[in-house]
């Protein structure tokens, strides 16, 4: 039987549920992937700052579905823009916590995974609304919301390409971490509303290598995540950076990240430009097969049909 994991309010959690994750810092509650069997642990979960908990219905000892039908909690993001905005706000907190900790030298892949899982569920429930809401970001939120959007796009695209759940989840995590190098660049450069100098542009272009070197300090980071962090600005004709790789040298997960990263950048509003419409961004990418794999652009576009 396939595992079915859903997101429920922590107030609905009961003994006999199999807990995949709790949307709070590990410092508040360390355990992940366990059967909830004691009242003490149940109360500890409710005492955390988490609003939601990930529960595996297939592995639970009780009928979670029946319980939820009676309790009627929010188990997946709504297509209502206001509710989607609230859900993204909660995910933003988790993503920001995980990315800031990573930048400070305390990477926790569980927190990154929780944010990635939430992002993928949101885009799965209402892709157009998700994209619309993630366009509404301040300068202070830009890197974090971009990471959430790219993570969601990558995880969903991996699923559409028939990758396994484990592969899609890791690709979503990689999307959450792909721009971690930007957190190591001064905000005065990142948030500059004007034109950057050549020296500042050079610094910004160093972010993939900076992120890669930083993540390598952590022993448990998978090679796939390291590769995506370092190589997500490589393109098929070899004109990308930092290594100038060409088609056969660029793996499918990296190509997925490149397509999703550029799509989000094109459709996002920046100080120097307005965001493009989805169709325009997809057409622009499709017309450049020397840069992007057309098959991936087509599959990405299928999310928004």
Q: What is the pLDDT of residue 271?
A: 64
- Which two structure tokens, joined as six digits, stand for 14? 């009961």
Query: DSSP assignment of 107-154, as one string?
Result: --HHHHHHHHHHHHHHHHH-HHHHHHHHT---GGGHHHHHHHHHHHHH
For the chain, residues classed under CATH 1.10.3210.10 are 81-302
Q: What is the pLDDT of residue 3?
A: 56
> How long a stretch of residues is the chain?
305
Please, what's the b/e burial string for 249-286 (b: 16 or more CB within 10 A of its CB; e: otherwise)? Answer: ebeebbbbbbbbbbbbbbbbeeeeeebbebeebbeebe
CA-nearest of 178, 80, 159 to 117 is 159
CA-nearest of 24, 67, 62 to 46 is 24
Q: What is the pLDDT of residue 174?
A: 95
Which residues of the chain are modeled with pLDDT < 70?
A: 1-3, 68-79, 136-140, 271-272
> Which residue's structure tokens are 């952590």?
218
Q: What is the pLDDT of residue 272?
A: 63
Q: Which CATH superfamily is domain 81-302 in?
A: Hypothetical protein af1432 (1.10.3210.10)
Beta strands in the chain (DSSP E): 5-9, 18-22, 34-35, 52-56
**Run of H or E residues at 197:** none
């Amino acid at each position: 039987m396939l595992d079915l994991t859903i997101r429920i309010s922590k107030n609905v959690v009961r003994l006999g549920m199999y807990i995949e994750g709790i949307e709070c810092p590990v410092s508040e509650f360390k355990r992940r992937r366990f059967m909830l069997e004691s009242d003490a642990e149940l109360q500890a979960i409710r005492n955390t700052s988490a609003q939601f908990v990930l529960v595996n219905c297939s592995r639970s000892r009780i009928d979670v579905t029946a319980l939820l039908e009676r309790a009627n909690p929010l188990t997946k993001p709504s297509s209502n823009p206001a509710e989607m905005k609230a859900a993204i706000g909660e995910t933003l907190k988790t993503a920001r916590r995980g990315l800031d900790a990573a930048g400070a030298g305390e990477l926790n892949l569980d927190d990154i995974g929780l944010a990635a899982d939430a992002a993928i569920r949101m885009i799965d429930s209402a892709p157009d609304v998700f994209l619309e809401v993630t366009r509404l970001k301040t300068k202070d939120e830009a890197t974090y919301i971009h990471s959430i959007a790219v993570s969601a796009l990558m995880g969903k695209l991996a699923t559409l390409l028939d990758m396994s759940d484990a592969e899609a989840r890791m690709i979503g995590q990689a999307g959450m971490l792909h721009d971690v190098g930007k957190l190591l660049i001064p905000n005065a450069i990142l948030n500059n509303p004007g034109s950057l100098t050549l020296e500042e542009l050079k610094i910004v272009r160093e972010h993939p290598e900076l992120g890669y070197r930083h993540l390598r300090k952590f022993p448990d980071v998978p090679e796939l995540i390291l590769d995506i962090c370092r190589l997500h600005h490589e393109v098929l004709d070899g004109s990308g950076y930092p290594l100038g790789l060409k088609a056969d040298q660029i793996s499918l997960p990296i190509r997925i990240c490149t397509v999703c990263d550029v799509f989000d950048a094109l459709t996002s509003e920046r100080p120097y430009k307005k965001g493009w419409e989805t169709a325009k961004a997809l057409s622009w990418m499709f017309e450049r097969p020397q840069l992007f794999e057309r098959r991936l652009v087509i599959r990405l576009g299928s999310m928004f049909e």
